[in-house]
Structure 1
Amino acid sequence: MKRIALPCLLLCVTLPAAAQTQTWPPRLKTASGDELTLTGNVAYDAADFSGSGHAGAVLHDDTGWRRKEFGIGYKRAGRYDVTVGYDFQSKTWLDVALRLETKALFGRDLGKLRLGQSKMAVGFEGATASRAGSYIEASLPTQAFYESRRTGVDWAYEQPLYILNAGYYFGSDLQGNNRGDTAAARLAWTPWKASGNVLHLGVSASKESPEGEVDGRDQYRAPTARWRARAGSALTTDRLVDSGTLRDIQQLQRRGIEALWINGPWSLQGEYQQQTARRGSGLPDYRGYGGYASASWLVTGESRPYSAGNVGNPKPGHRHGAVELLLRRDHLDLDDAGIAGGRARSWTLGANWYLGPNLKFQGNYVRADARRAGSHVDPHLLSLRAQLHF
């Protein structure tokens, strides 16, 4: 709790007493333009499986909450903004950070500095806001490799033709997990980024040096890691691929390339990701890789919005909302260095209905094919989601 004391204090002491209330989304706005905003993102899922998992594991049909995210933000235009978020479903802290405008500090725009816990500057899909996901679940490689949130310092600098994002993350996250240091960077060339006309080509990389721990018997335990991915829904615990626990991790290296093209209602998006575990004690290095390609068509004619190197939810241009059809192909290979982590591929057919700016309904049909340690499974899944966000 002490780690969020400063941002919470800033929220309390900087909000002027005289404020006017806006009804939706919940917001207080001052005469000078400062804003205090409440945010939320709740999603309820239903999953209907056919087939079985590895070793005869039963993939149970299920329904349940996927997210219960709520947060608070304070913004002083041109100077700084503070964000504090928490997911009551997974019981994890989200972004808890103070972002500063360098123009207010140095008199010229040198980008934005962010201090606190935030998403890593590696990859495209993993860095997309959970409320703006085009599919109900992330692709197989993003599930396995994305490092998620860490505590540190992040710098973002955007110019007409490129975006540079770099960060250094240290210590553990706000759950007290994932101790260690990570240096990460992401660079994207953006020759087109007008509304409905976007081309984004990027590369990213990171080096993570995890920390071990000393147990109750004063014995040092070297860091471990594990890479795995579910069969299309977080409502199942079964994994299509799973490296198992990797011992004696010295360093984790991640690399990726990414692309996004938007032309009116049409868009294409894809990534290729590779991760390497450097291990000690004479153990061989272990590598995994994967990628995905996705196509989207907004039947009702809108375009996917693009800003600051990522995408958001389309804004409906019609009374009955916006309708989007999608198709994704992804794959993940975790067989390496004598470890039978498995290989998986899947097709995902998706449909999204954006009913106004705050309500979204999603449907996915997933057909998977996975081989691991001599076992072959090909489950398929129908998944539905209702999502309210503000």
Structure 2
Amino acid sequence: MKLSRSTLSVALLAALVAPAAHAEIALDVIGNSEVSFEGLVQADYNYFDSDFTDLNVGGDQLDGRDSDNELRRAELVLKGKGPGNFEWVVGYDAKADKWLDVNAKYKIGGNSNHFFQLGQFKQPNSLEELSSTKNNDFISKAMVTNTYGVARRLGAQYGIGDNNWSLTTSFFTRELTEHPAPTPHGPGWGVRGTFAPINESGNIVHLGLSYVNYDSFQDTVRIRTRPQADLAGTRLVDSGNMTNVDRQATIGGEAMWITGPFKLQSEYMQSTVERYDNGNPRQSKDFDSSSWYVSGLWNITGETWGYKGGVPTTGLPDEPASGMWQLGARFDSIDLDDGVIIPAANPTAAAAVDGVLGGQMDSWTVGVNWYWRSNFKFMLNYVMVDSSRFYARTPATGLVDPADQGQLVNRKVDDNPNVIEARVQFYW
């Protein structure tokens, strides 16, 4: 669904004349449950300065233009508190046509840090993924989050902790919304532990570890990521379809430091795709890959962050009329190379690969955010990408993207595009 100029104008006009209300809209009390309504609307624009590969060709973007715009999210959420210690939520994204959080939670002893949850919810394996989408520091989430984060899945979850520590374990299966293979929707389990040795107003140190292990869907896994641009149709690094897959296991580490108006945050994940023997040694080796980022954010206007349930929380601007201004920078890196090149006997022929050479990519993102009043956010990012990947080259067809196991390669291509990104957001 593309966002036309007229649709964008109407959406912005509706947002500007809407009444300001930071909290959710209270609807009614039904069956001793206080029902409220929340929403999130995001519209994105990307301008692509492509290098080797046209970033706007592939997937749903087939026009090859230098820019693209889209209604990114249109989330509608009903929430309920009660009866008693129960809470429930039903969320739906009208843009993506998929279910969001759909679950019920029971707070044991009335303690929000000690609970049992059943339904569809985000899995416990990523600080950025578990943080609120409307308060993301950058327009595109980090590569490690987009690549290895296990988001909403059906399952059961138990959590225990207090203001300084938490331990959460989850057993899950597929999503409510069906997706085609090879998306990672097999059953599995996960666990995440956090510890905040310092947790004071404007002074927070957070540490965390996570682990998820799940079955592959139809024995196939494909690991790839966009160049830090959500509207790009091209992935510059791509493992290709790995078949004969048993399970995928990902371990992650996270750290965050908040001091006054500054926030420093980092995550690292290493993932192993476990494969079974199908008689072909090149297609039976386990595949290891990794990704990480480090980011810094400065609230120019002086606000700080809160901390709840092992994730940061973003408050309102101190001066709603002028808003809260943020400056940020992030460095990302991902490595999908786990193989060696076997030289060809004939110098004019392509070499073979033992394993997988999906490529490597680094990126810098710098950005500015403006939270205006209680319901609006405007974001502007500039992304600089540095990637490299092996391709095959034949006299007849030129460069060929292998994107499969046992591929032939004889040329490493550097691809270093830049992207300008903008987002308009309205939430209540």
Aligned in 2, Cα 1:110/1:326: closer, same or farther, shift over 3 Å? closer
Aligned equivalents of 1:263 and 1:74: distance in 2?
Answer: 34
Partner of 2:310: 309
Aligned in 2, Cα 1:251/1:349: closer, same or farther, shift over 3 Å? same
2:196 to 182, 185, 190: 190
Give the letter for the 1:154 counterpart: Q
Pair 1:339-2:342 in alignment? no
What TM-score do you get using the length of structure 2 for normalisation? 0.78
Deviations 1:240-277 (A, max 9, x none): 21111111210100000000111110110000111110
**Equivalent pair of 2:113/2:162 in contact (CA under 8 Å):** no
Give the letter for the 2:388 counterpart: R
Which runs of no fewer than 5 residues in structure 2 stay unpaired?
1-20, 58-63, 279-283, 340-354, 391-411
Aligned in 2, Cα 1:116/1:375: closer, same or farther, shift over 3 Å? same
Give the letter for the 2:309 counterpart: A
Partner of 1:288: 289
**Equivalent pair of 1:53/1:59 in contact (CA under 8 Å):** no
Aligned in 2, Cα 1:209/1:24: closer, same or farther, shift over 3 Å? closer
Aligned equivalents of 2:30 and 2:100: distance in 1?
Answer: 30
1:312 is paired with a residue whose SS is strand
Show the 5 A alignment for 1:76-91. Answer: 76=82, 79-91=85-97
Aligned equivalents of 2:378 and 2:421: distance in 1?
Answer: 11
Aligned equivalents of 2:84 and 2:162: distance in 1?
Answer: 17
Choose 72-81 or 294-303, whichever is displaced more: 72-81
Aligned equivalents of 1:261 and 1:83: distance in 2?
Answer: 31
**Equivalent pair of 2:165/2:310 in contact (CA under 8 Å):** no
Partner of 2:26: 27
1:150 to 122, 137, 153: 153
Aligned in 2, Cα 1:158/1:53: closer, same or farther, shift over 3 Å? farther
1:329 to 328, 331, 339: 331
Aligned equivalents of 1:187 and 1:246: distance in 2?
Answer: 31
Aligned equivalents of 2:378 and 2:313: distance in 1?
Answer: 15
1:173 is paired with a residue whose SS is coil
Deviations 1:209-237 (A, max 9, x none): 2353xxxxxxxxxx211111112221111
Pair 1:175-2:177 in alignment? yes
**Equivalent pair of 2:163/2:309 in contact (CA under 8 Å):** no
**Equivalent pair of 1:184/1:204 in contact (CA under 8 Å):** yes
1:258 to 233, 254, 257: 254
Partner of 2:298: 297
Aligned equivalents of 2:65 and 2:297: distance in 1?
Answer: 29
Partner of 1:216: none
2:380 to 363, 371, 376: 363
**Equivalent pair of 1:53/1:238 in contact (CA under 8 Å):** no
Show the 5 A alignment for 1:30-69. Answer: 30=29, 34-54=33-53, 60-69=66-75
Deviations 1:169-199 (A, max 9, x none): 13x2102345432110011111222221111
Give the letter for the 1:36 counterpart: V
Aligned equivalents of 1:109 and 1:370: distance in 2?
Answer: 43
Aligned equivalents of 2:190 and 2:234: distance in 1?
Answer: 31
Aligned equivalents of 1:264 and 1:32: distance in 2?
Answer: 43
Aligned equivalents of 1:96 and 1:340: distance in 2?
Answer: 38
1:204 to 203, 210, 213: 210
Length, aligned pairs only:
355
Deviations 1:124-164 (A, max 9, x none): 11222211211101111211111221110112222243111
**Equivalent pair of 1:51/1:59 in contact (CA under 8 Å):** no
**Equivalent pair of 2:299/2:324 in contact (CA under 8 Å):** yes
- Percent of residue pairs identical: 30
2:314 is paired with a residue whose SS is coil
Aligned equivalents of 1:119 and 1:24: distance in 2?
Answer: 22
- Tell me by how many angstroms 1:306 deviates: 2.0
Aligned in 2, Cα 1:239/1:111: closer, same or farther, shift over 3 Å? same
Aligned equivalents of 1:150 and 1:169: distance in 2?
Answer: 6
- Tell me by how many angstroms 1:285 deviates: 0.2
- Tell me by how many angstroms 1:61 deviates: 0.7
Structure with the greater alpha carbon radius of gyration: 2
**Equivalent pair of 1:331/1:345 in contact (CA under 8 Å):** yes
- Tell me by how many angstroms 1:53 deviates: 4.7
Aligned in 2, Cα 1:27/1:146: closer, same or farther, shift over 3 Å? same
Aligned in 2, Cα 1:23/1:320: closer, same or farther, shift over 3 Å? closer
Aligned equivalents of 1:350 and 1:304: distance in 2?
Answer: 18
1:131 is paired with a residue whose SS is helix
- Tell me by how many angstroms 1:375 deviates: 1.5
**Equivalent pair of 2:45/2:421 in contact (CA under 8 Å):** yes
Partner of 1:125: 128
Give the letter for the 2:227 counterpart: A
Aligned equivalents of 1:115 and 1:296: distance in 2?
Answer: 35
Give the letter for the 2:82 counterpart: R
